[in-house]
Amino acid sequence: MKREFERAKKAVESLFWDTCYVEIFMEEGTDWGETLHQKGEGDSFPCRLTEKAVASSENGLLAQMEKTVILLYPASKTIPAGSTILVKKENGEERQYFAAGDSQIFLTHKAVGLRRRDAV
């Protein structure tokens, strides 16, 4: 059973063709009660950026295009909500996002929803 799990995990991770650079922000309390947000150490690891476009129409006309972006990454890594993520695609294109919520944890990997940084 463990061998099957390792094989499934390896199969999922073989699809991680992109590279992620994660900048983590941590909250630190001061002696006078203020909360400071400071950059923590970043991390780099393989990942997979997935995009799903959904077009909504009214009366046959295209009114709006919505794109759902999800980042798949190794189960051993952590991306806290609000972290800045730079994704370098396999073709060399770079995109900047931030983690829009908490990660979903699966046995073989984790997934987090992203929002485009320049669209904020």
Tell me the average pLDDT of the chain.
Answer: 83
* Domains of the chain, each with CATH number or no CATH: 2-29+37-119 (2.40.10)
pLDDT reported for residue 87: 93
pLDDT reported for residue 2: 80
Confidence of residue 80 (pLDDT cuts 50, 70, 90): confident
pLDDT reported for residue 120: 42
Q: What percentage of the chain reaches a pLDDT higher than 90?
A: 33
Confidence of residue 56 (pLDDT cuts 50, 70, 90): low
Tell the burial category of 77 from Cβ atoms under 10 Å away from its Cβ (0-12, 13-18, 19+). middle
pLDDT reported for residue 43: 85
Helices marked H in the chain: 2-13
**How do beta strands 25-29 and 35-39 pair?**
antiparallel
pLDDT reported for residue 112: 95
Q: Taking residues 61-83, report their average pLDDT.
A: 83
pLDDT reported for residue 39: 72
Distance (Å, rounded) from C-alpha 108 to C-alpha 67?
25
